[in-house]
Amino acid sequence: MAHPEAVTDADFEEKVVKSKTPVLVDFWAEWCAPCRMIAPMVEELAGEYEGKLNVVKVDVDASPDTSVKYGIRSIPTLLIFKNGKIAEQVIGAVPKSVLKRRVDSALA
């Protein structure tokens, strides 16, 4: 089963922006309780959409440049990149059904 890959400022461009496959990016931090709440859902989506969607996690403390570049002001924030551009944005701990709907919309 696929697991979210950790991505940093150094490889964000390569792994996300230049990806030919749509990418769900989970901006999170170790100290963020809502981030830990949605982590299992993000993990499940990685498995359910394997081959159609890459799922990565960006630790905002370890990768501040990427967080600033994309205007991440609160976490968790999930961005779905398609063809190098943001196709969907979800802020906060939301139900899995909402995440799935946003992913399906981005993949359509």
Instruction: Catalytic residue, from 7, 35, 41, 55: name it.
Output: 35
Catalytic (active site) residue 41: no
Instruction: Catalytic residue, from 7, 23, 25, 32: name it.
Output: 32
SS3 readout for the chain: CCCCEECCCCCHHHHHHCCCCCEEEEEECCCCHHHHHHHHHHHHHHHHCCCCCEEEEEECCCCHHHHHHCCCCCCCEEEEEECCEEEEEEECCCCHHHHHHHHHHHHC
Catalytic (active site) residue 79: no
Q: Looking at the annotation, which residues are catalytic?
A: 32, 35
